Amino acid sequence: MEKTKFSYGDIVKVLLPLNCDGYDYMIPMEGDFVIGDYVYVPFRSKQELGVIISKNDKPLNYDISKVRFILGKCKDYCLTENQILFIKKVAEYNLSSFGNVLKMVMGFSGIFDDVKGRKKETNYIPSYTDVNLTEEQKNATEFLSSKLGNGFSVCLLDGITGSGKTEVYFKVVNEALKNIDNQVLIMLPEISLTGQFLTKFELRFGIKPVLWHSNITPAQRRDNWKAIVNGEAKVIVGTRSSLFLPYKNLSLIVLDEEHDNSYKQEDNVIYHGRDMAVLKASIDKIPIILASATPSIETLNNVKLGKYQSVKLTSRFGEAVMPKIELIDLRQNKPEKQEWGQSWLSNVLVKKIEDNLSLGNQVMLYINRRGYAPLVLCSSCGYRIQCPNCSVYLTAHNKDNTRCYCHHCGYSAKLPQHCPECEKEDSWFLCGPGIERIEDEVKNRFPDAKITTISSDNITSQTKLNDIIKQIEDRAVDIIIGTQILVKGHHFPDLTLVGVVDGDMSFSGADLRANENTFQLLTQVSGRAGRGEKKGEVVIQTFNPDNPVMKAIAENDRESFFKEELENRRISKMPPFSKLASVVLSAKNKQILDSFCYSLSRCAPNNLDRVSCFGPIDAPIALLKKNYRKRFLLIVDKSIRIQDIIKKWFSFVNPPSSINIKIDIDPYNFM
């Protein structure tokens, strides 16, 4: 449908990539303008690039002489009505400004600048190499391919770890690309997953996909954005921000590891990538595939209710079988102190490591805790080293030259010689294990083993991570010690033993999803073992082997876990049986913050039917980067639009400019 052209003197709303919902501008005499055009406009003392999103037919409440003319337009690019609708719906749902969403659509400032002297890739046409699939995979492929070209649908590709989900959706992607105009978006939760994925993709399709994530260079970002908008880029692989690119002819979205919390954006525009991907698919009337070995409770419930369809892969690919999972009760198998210090590995786990190494196999030890020790205290008076900027204790790094770090604000300090409280000298006691401490123990126990440690402290680039993964694949590593970076998506055929140092760690914190996250995380960790021809085993050290979550993991019984967790959520009226919104307020001045929170609490929407508002209380991290923090939590019935409740609530108050307000619809982080 051809767009209606504006006439000279028409007033239009131009959206700028700023924290705004658009400004009025006038159509000039020269040039043809329609909704969706990228236009240059005067803004304050400079020129900005924006997008015409609507015509303003309402009477102006100010002098028309103040309306400035559009300066011109970028002729090669124009947003579609669906793309504008997506911007508006994302902003409205997440209570963000339209302009902040547009900023993600435009990629970055200077997107249309021409940079000379750089060779641009133009060959984006893939050539798929077929692979033998199992009957189960073939059936899944046929079912998912049948959705192509038939409007909006959401299908869960529900396959156990190592079942070949990637090969299934690669085949579906190839089916979509048989229409040469089509584009496909494959979303991954983190950049760290792209290494092995890209290698596999290139083997299947003969080319590299077009990438979109925060680590690509400005030049790559500019070229890739233009290739996507022009339709030259056929397959795009990206993290959550790739969802907002203005695709020319998007025909399919694949969202891998759909359960992963990394899809949740926690700053600027706060949104969940999975939920916004489903929204985009519904607006564009295209299918979306959600893939996971451990689907989220929300997704499984949508399948149960018939909102989403599902296809299952129940067997591992090739000769691989699911690993045996054993729970080690640390109350009965307490690690024994050694001559070099406290041990954190039970004798059972140590013996299994020895047995696997003797057979020439690889071992992975998992602990999701950075540094050497998570807590430093005085053994004389109990004083704990705390961050001066945040209400958290510092983490000790590097045993021999101990420095303490705050993982929230980056503050660091060397341990003082004397305790500031009791002034006793050299009285510091390092409590608990971090990844560095486990590395220390492993080196003492297995001096001949080739060991590598992977955490965000020592992996400073994607290239470095890819190099380490290549070493593991080439068998240059015997023992891998890793944090969450290693949990997702990686495939090491010779890895036969996975040891979880502290299986109880994910239960900590006041998080309604603690059980779900623990089940997903430990199932994913366990899934790294035995993915090749060699049989794998998993050892999870825990103080709570009778915990229903631990039992479900050990017995690979997802159905009973899902049933019990869903019932607990129903009883407590938690998602997916309600809607949540978190409101976190922060300020440098505690008195101003407390006073405003008191005013906000007085008009809180507690008196409405099926609406509860809790707070204000100190946030779990009550001081962060020298800002005091308070929080409210809203719980409303699913039939009520929570955004309207919040808008009405805040209409009664006038927040001081010194207070930062963060509203999170469907919160995942309760810190």
Whether the pLDDT of residue 456 is over 90: the answer is: no
Task: Name the band, by pLDDT with cuts 50, 70 and 90, for residue 239.
Answer: very high
Between CA 83 and CA 246 the distance in angstroms is: 7
d(CA 213, CA 584): 28
Taking the CA of residue 87 as centre, how many other CA atoms within 13 Å lie in the half-sphere pointing to its CB?
Answer: 29
pLDDT given at position 191: 78
Strands laid side by side in the 579-587 sheet = 611-624, 627-636, 579-587, 660-665
What is the rounded distance in angstroms from the CA atom of residue 627 to the CA atom of residue 130?
56
CA distance 437 to 342: 10
Query: Contact 376/393 with Cβ under 8 angstroms?
Result: yes
Backbone angles phi, psi at 142, to 5 degrees: -65, -40
Give the model's pLDDT for residue 400: 66
Give just the sign of the alpha carbon dihedral 174, 175, 179, 184: negative
Phi, psi of 309 (to 5 degrees): -95, 165
**583-619: string of b/e by CB count within 10 Å (b at 16+)?**
bbbbbeeeeebeebbeebeeebbeeeeebebebbeeb
Distance CA 74, CA 370 (A): 48
CB 99 within 8 A of CB 15: yes
The pLDDT assigned to 505 comes to 80
Tens digit of each residue's pLDDT (9 = 90 or more) over 572-620 = 999 999 999 999 999 999 999 999 999 999 999 987 778 999 999 999 9
**Sequence-distant (≥ 6) Cβ neighbours of residue 185 within 8 angstroms:** 236, 238, 242, 243, 247, 250, 252, 253, 254
Q: How far apart are CA 479 and CA 473, in angstroms?
A: 12
Are residues 153 and 309 in contact, defined by beta-carbon separation less than 8 angstroms? yes
Q: Where are the alpha helices (DSSP H) in 43-152?
A: 81-94, 98-106, 135-145
Q: What integer is the mean pLDDT of 185-194? A: 85
Please provide the DSSP assignment of 216-264 as one string: S-HHHHHHHHHHHHHT---EEEE-GGGGGS--SSEEEEEEESTT-GGGE
Over residues 644-658, mean pLDDT:
95
Q: Are 481 and 438 in contact (CB under 8 A)?
A: yes
d(CA 366, CA 525): 8
Model pLDDT, residue 109: 67
Two tokens, residue 111: 């997107």
- How confident is residue 308, by pLDDT bands cut at 50, 70 and 90? very high
| Higher per-residue pLDDT: 487 or 598 | 598
Q: Which residues on neighbouring strands pair with residue 54, listed in sequence order? A: 13
Give the CA count within 13 Å in the CB-facing half-sphere of 445. 26
* Nearest one of 632, 597, 592 to 611, comparing CA atoms: 632
Phi, then psi, of 213 in degrees rounded to 5: -160, 175
Q: How far apart are the first and last CA of the chain?
A: 48
Mean pLDDT of the chain: 91
Q: What are phi and psi of 458, to 5 degrees?
A: -115, -5
Place of tokens 């020269």: 30
Residue 98: CB partners within 8 Å, gap ≥ 6?
15, 20, 21, 22, 53, 87, 88, 91
Residue 2 has pLDDT above 80, yes or no: no
Q: What pLDDT score was predicted for residue 117? A: 47
Residue type at position 340? W
pLDDT above 60: residue 119: no
Q: What is the DSSP letter of 177?
A: T
DSSP-derived 3-state class of residue 11: strand
> Which residues share a beta bridge with 13?
24, 54
The span from the CA of 440 to the CA of 450, in Å, is 13
How far, rounded to the nearest angstrom, does the alpha carbon of residue 152 sit from its chain's CA centroid? 24
Element (H, E) at 466: helix 462-473
- Tell me the chain's radius of gyration from C-alpha atoms: 27
Model confidence pLDDT, tens digit, residues 346-359? 999 999 999 999 99
Lowest mean pLDDT among 37-46, 110-119, 454-463, 477-486: 110-119
Q: How far apart are CA 465 and CA 458, in angstroms?
A: 9
CB environment 186-221: b (16+ within 10 A), e (fewer):
bbbbbbbbbbbbeeebeebbebebbbbbeebeeeeb
Q: Greatest CA span in the chain, whole angstroms?
A: 85
| Residue 606 confidence (pLDDT) | 83
Q: Is 63 helix (H, G, I), strand (E, B) or coil?
A: coil
| Residue 219: predicted pLDDT | 87
What is the arithmetic mean of pLDDT over 541-556? 92
Q: What is the mean pLDDT of residues 317-329?
A: 82
Q: Return d(Cα 137, Cα 316) in angstroms, integer.
A: 10
Task: Assess whether the previous peptide bond of 374 is cis (omega < 30° from 0).
Answer: no
Q: How many CB atoms lie within 10 A of CB 338?
A: 12
Q: Is the pLDDT of residue 203 over 70?
A: yes
Which residues in 348-387 are b (16+ Cβ under 10 Å) and which e? bbbebbeebbeeebbbbbbbbbbbbbbbbbbeeeebebeb
Region 437-446: what's the mean pLDDT?
95
The pLDDT tens digits of the residues spanning 309-319 come to 999 999 887 66
Higher-scoring residue by pLDDT: 191, 92: 92
Over residues 408-430, the pLDDT tens digits come to 999 999 988 899 999 998 889 99
* Those residues with Cβ within 8 angstroms of residue 95's Cβ, 6 or more apart along the chain or in another chain: 643, 646, 647, 663, 665
**Residue 311 contacts residue 156 (beta carbons within 8 Å):** yes
What is the tens place of the pLDDT at every residue in 29-62?
988 999 999 999 999 999 999 999 999 888 888 8
At 64, is the secondary structure helix, strand, or coil? helix
pLDDT at 524: 86
Question: 120-129, 387-396, 495-504, 545-554 — which is least confidently predicted?
Answer: 120-129
Which one-letter DSSP state was computed for residue 24? E
Q: Is 174 helix (H, G, I), strand (E, B) or coil?
A: helix
361 CB-side CA count, 13 A = 23
**429: which strand partners?**
377
Parallel/antiparallel/unpaired status of strands 271-272 and 324-329:
unpaired
Separation of alpha carbons 331 and 243, rounded Å: 47
Question: Order of strands across the sheet with 287-292?
Answer: 210-212, 235-238, 183-187, 250-256, 287-292, 153-159, 309-313
Q: Which of 197-201, 240-244, 462-466 has the lowest mean pLDDT?
A: 462-466
Report residue 569: phi and psi, to 5°.
Answer: -65, -40
Check pLDDT > 60 for residue 637. Answer: yes
320 pLDDT tier (thresholds 50, 70, 90)? low
Are the C-beta atoms of residues 502 and 433 closer than 8 Å to each other? yes
Convert the pLDDT of each residue in 335-344 to its tens digit. Answer: 988 888 889 9
What pLDDT, on the 0 to 100 scale, is given for residue 508? 63
Q: Is a pLDDT exceeding 70 seen at residue 245?
A: yes
665: pLDDT strictly greater than 90: yes
Cis peptide before 287 (omega within 30 of 0): no
Cβ(498)–Cβ(539) below 8 Å: yes
- What is the reported pLDDT for 193? 65
Residue 504: what pLDDT?
Answer: 86
